[in-house]
């Protein structure tokens, strides 16, 4: 058997693997790989846990958002009802106020009309009295006037006696 280079390569190959086994390199590599596998499993478990927590938080946030939407819808509906009531109430107050103002204006017009009629009567009575004075002073003499005055005075006394009795 001749010892050639392939033999020495085979021997060195066996010595190399024997050295590796003697130094427990495969076990160390196995331990390192198992450690890496455990770390990866931990990270996967942690990421699964984080994903679950994130999903829970998302569900909670979605529920809160839905409830907030419902509450805001209820608030808007209530505000609309309140504004409708307020509009109706203000409209009624406006109509009542305008009716009161209309009645006051009509009363004031009526009072002004009565005052104008009274002024016209007073003025016409004054004119009539002045006219009668003028007519009497110009057309009737003093003796007739005294007789007429006495006659009217007597008639007035009799009327007053009738009224007092």
pLDDT digits (tens, 9 = 90+) for 95-138: 999 999 999 999 999 999 988 888 888 888 878 777 777 776 66
CA distances from 93 to 72, 87, 100, 155 (A): 31, 10, 10, 62
% residues pLDDT > 90 (the chain) = 50
Q: What is the pLDDT of residue 42?
A: 96
Question: What value does the mean pLDDT take over residues 74-86?
Answer: 94
pLDDT at residue number 153: 78
Give yes or no for residue 90 having a pLDDT over 80. yes
Contacts of 26 (CB under 8 A, 6+ apart): 20
pLDDT of 131: 76
- Between 20 and 82, the higher pLDDT residue: 82
| Cα–Cα distance measured from residue 150 to residue 158, given in angstroms and rounded to the nearest whole number | 12
pLDDT one-digit tens code per residue, 20-42: 788 888 888 889 999 999 999 99
pLDDT at residue 24, as a whole number: 83
Regarding pTM above 0.75, the answer is no
> Rounded to the nearest 5 degrees, what angle is found at the Cα of 73, between the Cα atoms of 72 and 79?
85
Hunting for tokens 């007597």 — which residue is that?
154
- C-alpha 51/C-alpha 73 separation (Å) is 32
Q: How many separate helices (H) and strands (E) can be counted in the chain? A: 3, 0
Q: At what angle do helices 5-22 and 25-139 cross, to 10 degrees?
A: 60
79 has pLDDT over 90? yes
Tokens 């003028």 locate to 134
């Amino acid at each position: 058997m001749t010892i050639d280079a392939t033999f020495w390569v085979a021997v060195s190959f066996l010595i190399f693997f024997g050295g590796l086994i003697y130094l427990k390199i495969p076990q160390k590599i196995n331990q390192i790989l198992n450690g890496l596998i455990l770390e990866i499993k931990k990270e996967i478990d942690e990421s699964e846990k984080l994903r679950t927590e994130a999903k829970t938080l998302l569900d909670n946030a979605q529920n809160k958002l839905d409830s907030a939407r419902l509450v805001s819808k209820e608030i808007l509906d209530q505000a609309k009802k309140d504004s409708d009531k307020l509009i109706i109430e203000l409209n009624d107050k406006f109509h009542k106020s305008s009716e009161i103002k209309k009645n006051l204006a009509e009363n004031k017009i009526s009072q002004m009309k009565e005052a104008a009629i009274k002024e016209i009567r007073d003025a016409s009575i004054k004119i009539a009295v002045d006219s009668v004075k003028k007519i009497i002073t110009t057309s009737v003499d003093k003796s007739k006037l005294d007789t007429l005055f006495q006659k009217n005075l007597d008639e007035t006394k009799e009327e007053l006696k009738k009224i007092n009795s």
